[in-house]
Structures are given as structure tokens and as C-alpha cells.
Structure 1
Amino acid sequence: MPDSTTPPGRSTPVGTFAAIRRLYSYAKPAMPRIYLGMITGLAAGIVALLIPQVLRGLVDGPLQSGDSQQIWPAFTLVLALGILEAVMVFLRRFFVLTPGTHIEARMRNALYTKLQHLPVSFHDRWPSGQLLSRAVSDLNLIRRWISFGLVLLVVNVVMIVVGFVFLFNISWILGVLFVLCSIPLWIYGFLFENKYSVVARRSQDQAGDLATTVEESVHGIRVLKAFGRGKYALKNFSHQAEMLRGTEIEKAQAIAGIWLWLLLVPDVTFALGLLGGVWLAVNGEITVGDLVGFFATATVLRWPVESIGFLLSMTFDARTATDRFFEVMDTENSIIDPDEPKTVADPKGRLVFDNVHFRYQDSPERVPDIVNGVTLTIEPGETMALVGLTGSGKSTLTALTTRLYDVTHGSIAIDGVDVRDLRLTELRTLMAMAFEDATLFSASVRDNVLLGRPDATADDLAEAIDIAQASFVHDLPDGVDTRVGEEGLSLSGGQRQRLALARAVAAKPSVLVLDDPLSALDVNTEALVEAALRRVLASTTALIVAHRPSTVMLADRVALLQDGRITAVGTHSELLASSEHYRFVISSLEDEQQQSRSEVSS
């Protein structure tokens, strides 16, 4: 499992602008409203800057001359500007509130679609918590930045520029003073980006690791309780949480550092400006109205200047969230539909392995292939049992048939067509799998069983349940419409396995691939399932990974897998007579089955 400092798929860092610019393809439909939000926000800012100019004229005009009749027009103008500013702020929020949610939904749907398309090898490497944090917290952060952070950053930067123009118009000397005093802010802002980006990325990765730990603890709660390892799990969680807390404190310290400058520099600048402004007013360089207008304008600019700190931190958070999002989206998917797909016009179910090799991408060269030159032919309607010791490559070989992984050499063909030349949807319609580790979804029994063939009839559903000896579903509160819990954990292991077998049978494939689908069943249920399966296997090509001698008995022929190679093929009787290794494997399976029966009976 990758740690927080070296997440899988970590991309080469790019600039903040270049990283965030990649969001445009998702934000494009919402940009008109985002632009309107910026325009109304700028209008509110400009109106706010105009009010000090009115006050400037008020001080130098009616207040100085004592003409009270001129005060009311100025008062009315200030009131009107204040109301107009409030309306513009309301419109800014109105325009930007909804588009961000649409962008977030569009990105989340794209991420989920990408995760569905990426091969199993990707999910083998990526912790689920890392993916979950990207799909939830990172996209939520991006939404908030686009809706508010980006708009306010643009609006406030423009306000600062326009405000400085007003300041220079009133007094170029005081304007230069304010510009010079702002230089430390820009320098520190640049240093802040380099430091904060690293810490923010580490924080988000650690949050993903922590989410993985929580998920594993929840899913494994039965094991933790059974072995009394709750304190151990808590200690591991606390350690990771403490690391995340330390990183968050480091983030807070970085933000506090820039806030120190953002608060200190303007205060010092105001003090110097006041001192210089009074001196200029005394010497007749500026009027009292100019001085009032200057500091009123500077006061309006104080919020935009001070906001730069948290807007920058929000922007850098959004940048790292964007990087993490595109690390997944940029992952190359090697298992895709061919450019010129072929089709199996009249499926018979002939399955051919031709010199098949497979190894994981990150496997060292010195490690031999997991599947190392398998050549095997399964004729239409034939049932082939695949037996071998643990680690011989049985499950891996079955996973290659439906392209959960792709062969690294050789080919697998169904009815003469390489599986890589078929569309994935057609391939996975022709073939169905039942895994030893039966996974169900938080849906009804009906939806779980008909997952591979949702248009199946009620008779098809009943037949699949009958073959899998899963009649227990009729005793559930709502029968086949009963919603099973997360991953089906509300059911026993044997019940989950029977529903997984029913799911494979209900798909009515041309080739049925079963990876030890009966391992969690008791002896009596196993016998009933095997008897019912014979009806299905009589007309369906099947490849069965057998961990029990009784499962081997279902097969027409048996293939012996040893160290990734097929070393013998024949009937059970033939291999018993000719292969010493086969006799050893069968003896081992019998011992395991006998031990399993003893455990059940006890």
C-alpha cells in the first residue's frame, strides 16, 4: 500500500495556473454564470470604491462651505451607492452558487466512470480511501474554490489595482508609499506558495490514508472484535490521525505566517500614510477632503488585501486537489475496446489458451511469470476443472478470460476470436464469473442475482436461485426484494456464495468461469448444488477452479496447473493413474475437505 508521501500515480508537479487551467473542460458550461458573478462582484467593489470619492467631495465642498443644502444630495448618493453595492453582492452570490455544484457533479461522475473503466490492476494498487477522498473532499474543495475562491480572488485583485489608481489620483506620494509597503506581501506570497503547496498535498494524501484505515476497520470489524484487536486498530488509527494533525498544524502555521504579514503590513502602512498625509495636508499639498478620501479608500481596500491570504491558501488547496483528481483521470487504461472490434456471430463456447503468459507490471525480472506458457483447449459444452496447489496461478488464469487482466504474451480466444478483439461488453456477456470471495451490493437480492442480465424473466431468476440452492431468499422479510446489507455482510458466507453462483448462472453465458464457488458450503448443500450444476454444465462450456475433490467430479476433464504451467490434462481417473503430482494435489484437497467437514460438524 502506498504511503502518503508516495501515492500511486503521482504526477510531475506543474504550476498552479497550469494545473487549475485543466479544470476548464469541466467548468466550461458553467463559466457564463461564473463570469457574471465576477462582473457583479467587480461592480460591487467599484461602487464601494466610489463612496470614498463622494465623501472626499463632501468634506471639501458642503462641509467646508457650511452649505447644508448640498449635504442631502451627497447623503442620497452615498445611500444609493450602498444599496447598489448590496444588490451587486447579492447577484454575485446568486450567479455563482449553483454552477459550482454542477461542476462538482460533472467531475464526480467523470471520476466514477473512469474508476469503472480502469483495470483491476489499478484498483489493486490504489487504496480505496485515497479514491474516496478524491471523489468527496477534493471535489468539494474544488467546487468551493470555483464558486467563491476564484471569483473573490479575481474581484479582489482587480479592486486592489483600481483602488491604487484612486490612491495615486488623490496623492501620488502616498500611493507610492502604499506600493512600496506592499512589496513584502508579494514576496512572502511567493514563498508561501512553495511551502504551502507541499504541506497541503501531504495533508490531503494523509487524509486519504486515514479514510482507508477507517474503511478497513469498518469492513473488518468482525475480525477485530473476534480477535480482540480493537485497541491495536485504535492505536494504528491514532498514529495516522496524529500525523494528519501535525500536518494540519503545519498548514495552520503557514497560514498564520502570511496572516501576520497581511495584518501587520497594512497597519504599518496606515500609520506611515497617516503621518505623511497629515504632513502633506499641513503643507497644503493635499486637502482635508483628499486625506479623508485617501484613507476611506484605503479602508475599503483593507479587506481585499487581507483576503489574499486565505484566498491564496484556498487556491493552493484547490491546486493540489486538482492534481490528485487528474492523477486518476490521467491514468492510462490498457484494457479498452479495440479500434476495429470483431464479434462472435454464433457463440458455441470454445475456449482456447495459446501459450498464455502473465506477470504484474511491477514484478522484478527475476520473478517468473505467474502464468507461464499455458496452452489449453476447452471444447463447447465441456467442463474443465483446473487444479493445483495454492499459488500455482489458477485464479489468475481465470481472471484473464474476461480481461480483468490482459495477458502479457500469447492469447485467449473464444470461438476463434481473440478476447482482446471483442468489445468488453460483448466479451463479458459471452462469459460470466463466480468468485470464491463473493461480493454483493447494497441492493435487493433480485438486483444482485440479475446483475449480469437485468432483463431476465422471473422464471430465469427462479431457475438460477434453484440451481444455486439459494431458496433461503424466500424466507427473507421481503423475499427476493429484500435489500441485503453492505457487501452482503448481513448474510452468511455460504449464502453470499450461493447468490454469487446464482448471479453467474442467471447471466446464461456461453462460457461459465467458476473460481472455487462452493468453498463456503456445507457438505449437504454442496452436494445439492453440484447435482443442480450438472444440468447447467451439460450445455455450457465451463472452467472451474477446484479446491475440493467433489468439485473435480463435476468436470469432463481436468487440467493440472503447476508453477504457472499446465503439466497434465485428462480425466480424473487418467491423471490419478499417470501423474504423481496430481495424486499429491488431490490428496491435499481431500485432507482440506476432511478438515473442513470436521470443523462444520463440531
Structure 2
Amino acid sequence: MSNSESLRTKNLKEPKPESALKRVLKPIKGQLILASMLAMLGTILMFIPLGGIVYIAEAALGKISSEHVWPVFIGSVLSLFIGLILNTFAEYYIHAADNNLTHHLRLSTIKRLSLVPLGWFTNRASGDVKRAMQDDVGMLHDLTAHFFTTIARAFGVIVISAIYLFMMNWKLALVTFIPFIAFFMLYGKAFKAGGEFMDDFFVGMSKIDNAVVEFVGGIPVVKTFGSGEVHRGFRNAVDDFALAFLKLTSAVSKGVATANSIVSPLTVLGFILACGILFIELGWIVPFDVVPFVLVAPGICAPILMITFITHGLRNATGSAERLHSLMTTPLLTQPETLASQPENSELSFNRVSYGYNAGNKILNNVSLTLPEGSVTAVVGASGAGKSTLARLALRFFDPDSGNITLGGIDLKNYPSHELYQRVGFVLQEVRLVHASIKENIALGKKDATQEEIENAAKAANIHERVMTLPRGYDSVIGEDAQLSGGEEQRVSIARATLLNPPILVLDEATASVDAESEAIIQEALSRFAKGRTLLVIAHRLDTIMNADNIVVLEEGEIIESGKHEELLASSGRYAALWQLGGFQDLSESTASLNDKESAND
């Protein structure tokens, strides 16, 4: 067998993978089918009274016996009410299913996002995540709650109408469906013509979204320094979208307008009457035979237009499903359910660790570093040297590309997250408090903490007195009756770490974005909390880490120096040069000044 034949045979045997839309909708597949069937059946039952009307009219004109008029009348009324009940139940059932799916997707995505590596977020804008979790879930609501039952009802009307009309007179039925066939031909041709402009249309929408986010996000700078560039970018995005929209509508609108006019009820009614008169003159039918077609055929127009209208959103829903499915299948940081053995101590070791947020951007390269139990290790370096990445690797926000990190002789990958964060606490520059009470924010990692434990942690973090001035004390809610400054929020995060009482503490520029007064208060709280713990300190001021047991200098992701303050000064290396230039000012300023000096000497 040739290679091409083998490949063809293999492709025939292997089933095609399910689409993202099918996978996302799988949890409610059964409910969608049942609700659609109920909606179709209900619509068919509601159609039966039209046949009853024709029967009663024939009886009134003496064309048939009138002995069954009352049973037909009662049956038609019952059919109408049962159809209404089935349609109502179908709508309730499908909305309940949609609510279950929405609930499942939002909980599943937030659970997934809580387990993905931080590096995953660095390659995505927050708007993309918000779009998947909020906008895309909302887009699926239109699909699940309305699309399938609407299509089922429309299909039911078309099918039962076609069956009924062909039963009445197959010749006139064939002619009746000519406008509907012409509609689909014109409609398909119009959208095929507009297909080549559809990608430009969506790209234009994306450009406007990005321009709006950029404008709003930078509004203070725009208003202060002038808005020419930002306004120009927004105007260009709007102009590009307008051009793409004009091309799309020009290609589609004429064909769609012609198609819609063909299936308007008035057009269809006029067409049927004209054909009916012709059939009567030819002697193929009697005048009354046109009545069922006059009553039923115009009613097919609305379902057909509804099908074409509601399928517009199917492409958007498919894109939403693809983004949600991509989010639901993002790689996770694998972790065991339990810790197999207890760590020997609180020593933290980086063993030939390398990491990059993407293939072409290496942040850390072959870093080896040991933090002995009870020691203070400070990491300094210019912005972008890899300091914060080192800290986040220690917290296992993501895994290294190569090498490993151990705590007490055990690889961090072998720690369940709850076990790891009982042992490694952290206070980062970016403070994150949740929309909850002060008490709940402090006890975020220890739900069973007592009020006394929470207050003791707050006192240790120098935030207790500020909390007691709030309207409801520890029950005050962040963002509502608890409006805190940046330094105060940082102290709440320190209280959170204090409550857990971890043996290892990671401090990533915890005072970099607060004023001098707040910095002094925070430093005092941290000094008290740090006693006896293994510390990894990311510093932006050299004078704050003079007494560290080990100072590590990072440059371009590699350790170029390490040792105590006096040793590094004596070695006259990079650290000594930075210290002489401005050890008591921000390190980034010192580094910039030193680089300028070196460039001048060159």
C-alpha cells in the first residue's frame, strides 16, 4: 500500500475532532435537544388551528358535512393551548439550561485561571481575559437560550406548512415555494460576495476596541500633555472600520434587500393569488382551493427571515466558543493532592534555574542560589534584570523552563498549593485586596482564624488603629466604607501574610510605590514580622538591605556578584559602583546614572 493510500485510510478511520462549540455546549446537549423538540412540537400544534379554520370554512360553504365542525373546533383550541404550554415550557427549560451552562463556564474558567501559570497572563491583555469570561459567555447566552428553540420553531412551521400545502394541492404547493427558493439563492450569493470583506470588518472592530482601551487607560496623560497622537490613533481606527463596513454593506445590502422583498408576506400573497388565478383558468383547481395557500404560505415568511437573522450570530458564537475552549484547556501547573513527605527545613534553593515568558525572551539564565534557613537574602539589579521573576518562581507562580527549585529538599512541584503557601508567604509591590471586609481580606489564607488572631496580625502590621477608625471596623468592606491608601492596603496584605505565620517570606519591593511616611511604617512592620524567618528580599534601595546575610546582584538574568555588604564594597564591582553613585536613592536611578557614566568613559 502506498503512503498516500495509508494516509487516506488513516484519515478515514480517525474521526474528526469535535468543534469548540460542540465541546463547550456538551454539558447541556441533552437539554438543548429536548427543548428544541418541545419547541418544534409546540409550534406544529399551534399550526393545526389553521387547518381547522379551512375545514370549518368548507363546512360553512356546504362543500363538506358539518357534523364534525364542533370536534374540529374543540380539537383546534386544545391544540393551540397545548402548543402554547409546550413552547412556554421549552423556553423555561432552555433558559434554565443556559443558566446552568453560564454558571458552569464562569466557575470553571475562574478555577482554571487560578491554576494557570502567571506567565500565561503576561502574554495576554486583561481585556482578552475579561472578554472570554464575560462577553463570550454572554454571546453564548444568545445562542443557547434563543438560537436552537427559534430554529426548531421556524423549521417546524416550514415543515408542517409544506406537508399541509402538498396535501392540499401538490402543483400549487410547488409553485408556492418558488419565492422561498429564490430568497435563499439570492441571500447566499449576497453573503458570499461579502465574505471577502468580513475579516477586515472584524479586524476594524478589534482596532477600535484597542484604541478605546488605550485612550481611557491613558486619559490623565492625554489631558495633561495633549491628545494629538492618541486621538489620531483612534480616528484612524474609526476611519478604517468605517471603510471596511462600507465595503461589506455595499457587497451585501443590495442582494439582501432584494431577497427580503421577495419573501415579504405581501409579495408571497400576491404571487400565490396570481398563480391561483392561472390555475383556476386552466381548470386545475377550484377557487376555494386557493384559500389554504392564502392562509398558510405568507406565514412561512417570518420563520425564514428569522432563520437568516438569527444565524448571523452563529459565527460570533463560534468564535466565543473557541476562545472559551482555549481558556478551558490552558496548561496548568500540575500539583499533587497531598505532600508525600515533610520538608527537612526551611531552606530554599534555586538549582540552575532558567526561565523566559516566551521562546525569544529569556529572563533568567542558569541561576543557582541557596537561602539557608533563617537567613536574609537580598536581590538587587536594574529594572528588567529578573528580580521579580526570581521571586515569583519562588512562589511557584510558574515553573522554570529548566532546573528546579526546592524547599526543604523537596521540589516545589511536589507541594500542593495550600501546603506551599502555608510555608512561603509573600508581600508584593502590586497589592491585591478582594471586594470583601477587612477581616475577610486578612483571613484570606486562613478561613478559620479567630477575631483575636486577625487583630493581632493587624497590630503586627501597624494597621489595627486605622481599621478601628472605619465605620464598621473589621467588618468594613474594601471599596465601600473602607477607602484605604496604597500604604494602608499594603499593611493589610502584610497582616494577611503575618496571620499565616510562614517560615519563609518573599518581599518584592513592598514599599516601592508608597510615600516616605508609609514606607517607614511598613518597614517597621516588616522588620518585626521577619525575625527568625528565611527572607528573600527584592530591593530597590541599597540602604534597606545593608544588613542582609547575602546580597545577590542580578544583571540580564544572571548572578554577577554575591556576598555581604562589606565584601561587595571591598570587591569594587558593580554593587560598589552603584553604592558610591547613590546607595540611598532608587536603584533604577543609580543604574541609569552609572550606565551613562560608563558610556561617557567609553
Query: Same-fold call, TM > 0.5?
Result: yes
Give the aligned partner of residue 500 of structure 1.
493
In the alignment, the residues of structure 2 paired with residue 576 and residue 42 of structure 1 have an alpha-carbon distance, to the nearest angstrom, of 83
In the alignment, the residues of structure 2 paired with residue 196 and residue 17 of structure 1 have an alpha-carbon distance, to the nearest angstrom, of 28
Q: How does 1:56-455 map to 2 (within 5 A)?
A: 56-64=54-62, 78-188=76-186, 190=188, 227=224, 254=252, 257-258=255-256, 260-265=258-263, 269-333=268-332, 335-337=333-335, 342-343=339-340, 345-346=342-343, 348-363=345-360, 369-455=362-448
Report the aligned-residue RMSD: 3.8
The letter of the residue matching 2:466 is: F
In the alignment, the residues of structure 2 paired with residue 523 and residue 554 of structure 1 have an alpha-carbon distance, to the nearest angstrom, of 21
Change (3 A) 1:395 1:272: same
The letter of the residue matching 1:156 is: A
In the alignment, the residues of structure 2 paired with residue 575 and residue 514 of structure 1 have an alpha-carbon distance, to the nearest angstrom, of 22
Task: Kindly indicate whether the alpha-carbon contact (under 8 Å) linking 2:429 and 2:511 is maintained by their aligned counterparts in 1.
Answer: yes
The letter of the residue matching 2:468 is: H
In the alignment, the residues of structure 2 paired with residue 282 and residue 16 of structure 1 have an alpha-carbon distance, to the nearest angstrom, of 58
In the alignment, the residues of structure 2 paired with residue 457 and residue 218 of structure 1 have an alpha-carbon distance, to the nearest angstrom, of 43
SS in 2 for 1:285: coil
Task: Kindly indicate whether the alpha-carbon contact (under 8 Å) linking 1:575 and 1:582 is maintained by their aligned counterparts in 2.
Answer: yes
Change (3 A) 1:457 1:202: farther
What is the TM-score of this pair, normalised by structure 1? 0.82
TM superposition shift of 1:48: 3.9
TM superposition shift of 1:547: 1.4
Change (3 A) 1:495 1:187: same
Q: Name which of 470, 480, 487 aligns with 2:474.
A: 480
Deviations, residues 285-335 of structure 1 (Å, cap 9, x unaligned) = 2233321112322123222222111122133332232223223223333x2
Task: Kindly indicate whether the alpha-carbon contact (under 8 Å) linking 1:342 and 1:422 is maintained by their aligned counterparts in 2.
Answer: yes
Deviations, residues 424-472 of structure 1 (Å, cap 9, x unaligned) = 3322332122112323333222333332333334444334333433343
Give the aligned partner of residue 8 of structure 1.
none
In the alignment, the residues of structure 2 paired with residue 191 and residue 119 of structure 1 have an alpha-carbon distance, to the nearest angstrom, of 47
In the alignment, the residues of structure 1 paired with residue 62 and residue 496 of structure 2 have an alpha-carbon distance, to the nearest angstrom, of 89
Task: Kindly indicate whether the alpha-carbon contact (under 8 Å) linking 1:59 and 1:289 is maintained by their aligned counterparts in 2.
Answer: no
SS in 2 for 1:592: coil
Task: Kindly indicate whether the alpha-carbon contact (under 8 Å) linking 2:268 and 2:298 is maintained by their aligned counterparts in 1.
Answer: no
The letter of the residue matching 2:303 is: P
Give the aligned partner of residue 26 of structure 1.
27
Task: Kindly indicate whether the alpha-carbon contact (under 8 Å) linking 2:543 and 2:584 is maintained by their aligned counterparts in 1.
Answer: no
Task: Kindly indicate whether the alpha-carbon contact (under 8 Å) linking 1:356 and 1:375 is maintained by their aligned counterparts in 2.
Answer: yes
Change (3 A) 1:423 1:239: farther
Deviations, residues 230-287 of structure 1 (Å, cap 9, x unaligned) = 7876776666567667777788775885464144146655444322222223343223
Change (3 A) 1:504 1:260: farther
Q: Which moved more, 1:504-513 or 1:446-455?
A: 446-455
SS in 1 for 2:404: strand
Change (3 A) 1:508 1:212: farther
What is the TM-score of this pair, normalised by structure 2? 0.82
Q: How does 1:553-572 map to 2 (within 5 A)?
A: 553-572=546-565
Greater relative CO (CA pairs within 8 A, separation 6+): 1
The letter of the residue matching 1:584 is: A
Task: Kindly indicate whether the alpha-carbon contact (under 8 Å) linking 1:347 and 1:510 is maintained by their aligned counterparts in 2.
Answer: no
The letter of the residue matching 2:479 is: G
Percent identity, please. 24
Q: Which moved more, 1:36-45 or 1:587-596?
A: 587-596
The letter of the residue matching 2:470 is: L
Deviations, residues 60-91 of structure 1 (Å, cap 9, x unaligned) = 44314598887666655555544444444433
Task: Kindly indicate whether the alpha-carbon contact (under 8 Å) linking 2:405 and 2:411 is maintained by their aligned counterparts in 1.
Answer: yes
Q: Which moved more, 1:569-578 or 1:344-353?
A: 344-353
SS in 1 for 2:583: helix
Task: Kindly indicate whether the alpha-carbon contact (under 8 Å) linking 2:41 and 2:156 is maintained by their aligned counterparts in 1.
Answer: no
In the alignment, the residues of structure 2 paired with residue 121 and residue 348 of structure 1 have an alpha-carbon distance, to the nearest angstrom, of 29
Give the aligned partner of residue 595 of structure 2.
none
Task: Kindly indicate whether the alpha-carbon contact (under 8 Å) linking 1:559 and 1:568 is maintained by their aligned counterparts in 2.
Answer: yes
Q: Name which of 538, 543, 553 aligns with 1:545.
A: 538
In the alignment, the residues of structure 1 paired with residue 78 and residue 526 of structure 2 have an alpha-carbon distance, to the nearest angstrom, of 83
TM superposition shift of 1:350: 0.2
Task: Kindly indicate whether the alpha-carbon contact (under 8 Å) linking 1:341 and 1:423 is maintained by their aligned counterparts in 2.
Answer: yes
Deviations, residues 102-145 of structure 1 (Å, cap 9, x unaligned) = 22222222222222222222222222222223322322232232
SS in 1 for 2:536: strand
1:466 aligns with 2:459: yes
Q: Which moved more, 1:60-69 or 1:403-412?
A: 60-69
Deviations, residues 182-220 of structure 1 (Å, cap 9, x unaligned) = 334444555577678898888778777766766676666
Task: Kindly indicate whether the alpha-carbon contact (under 8 Å) linking 2:441 and 2:496 is maintained by their aligned counterparts in 1.
Answer: yes
In the alignment, the residues of structure 2 paired with residue 220 and residue 285 of structure 1 have an alpha-carbon distance, to the nearest angstrom, of 75
In the alignment, the residues of structure 1 paired with residue 258 and residue 74 of structure 2 have an alpha-carbon distance, to the nearest angstrom, of 39
The letter of the residue matching 1:57 is: Y
Task: Kindly indicate whether the alpha-carbon contact (under 8 Å) linking 1:356 and 1:409 is maintained by their aligned counterparts in 2.
Answer: yes
Q: Which moved more, 1:196-205 or 1:393-402?
A: 196-205
Task: Kindly indicate whether the alpha-carbon contact (under 8 Å) linking 2:468 and 2:474 is maintained by their aligned counterparts in 1.
Answer: yes
In the alignment, the residues of structure 2 paired with residue 216 and residue 465 of structure 1 have an alpha-carbon distance, to the nearest angstrom, of 38
Q: Which moved more, 1:283-292 or 1:176-185?
A: 176-185
Give the gaps of 5 or more residues in structure 2: 1-15, 590-602
In the alignment, the residues of structure 1 paired with residue 344 and residue 200 of structure 2 have an alpha-carbon distance, to the nearest angstrom, of 52
Q: Which moved more, 1:507-516 or 1:578-587?
A: 578-587
Give the aligned partner of residue 512 of structure 2.
519
In the alignment, the residues of structure 2 paired with residue 91 and residue 198 of structure 1 have an alpha-carbon distance, to the nearest angstrom, of 42
Task: Kindly indicate whether the alpha-carbon contact (under 8 Å) linking 2:122 and 2:357 is maintained by their aligned counterparts in 1.
Answer: no
TM superposition shift of 1:379: 0.6
In the alignment, the residues of structure 1 paired with residue 216 and residue 241 of structure 2 have an alpha-carbon distance, to the nearest angstrom, of 20
Give the gaps of 5 or more residues in structure 1: 1-14, 597-602
In the alignment, the residues of structure 2 paired with residue 134 and residue 200 of structure 1 have an alpha-carbon distance, to the nearest angstrom, of 21
TM superposition shift of 1:531: 4.6
Q: Which moved more, 1:116-125 or 1:201-210?
A: 201-210
The letter of the residue matching 1:496 is: E
The letter of the residue matching 1:25 is: K
In the alignment, the residues of structure 1 paired with residue 524 and residue 430 of structure 2 have an alpha-carbon distance, to the nearest angstrom, of 22
In the alignment, the residues of structure 1 paired with residue 38 and residue 518 of structure 2 have an alpha-carbon distance, to the nearest angstrom, of 71
Task: Kindly indicate whether the alpha-carbon contact (under 8 Å) linking 1:356 and 1:371 is maintained by their aligned counterparts in 2.
Answer: yes
In the alignment, the residues of structure 2 paired with residue 58 and residue 431 of structure 1 have an alpha-carbon distance, to the nearest angstrom, of 83
Change (3 A) 1:566 1:293: same
Deviations, residues 387-413 of structure 1 (Å, cap 9, x unaligned) = 122222111111111222221111111
Task: Kindly indicate whether the alpha-carbon contact (under 8 Å) linking 1:336 and 1:424 is maintained by their aligned counterparts in 2.
Answer: no
Number of residue-to-residue matches in the alignment = 570
Change (3 A) 1:388 1:320: closer
Give the aligned partner of residue 10 of structure 2.
none
Deviations, residues 546-580 of structure 1 (Å, cap 9, x unaligned) = 11133213422212222222222221111111242
Change (3 A) 1:81 1:118: same
Change (3 A) 1:442 1:506: same
The letter of the residue matching 1:96 is: I
Change (3 A) 1:371 1:330: same
Change (3 A) 1:84 1:459: closer
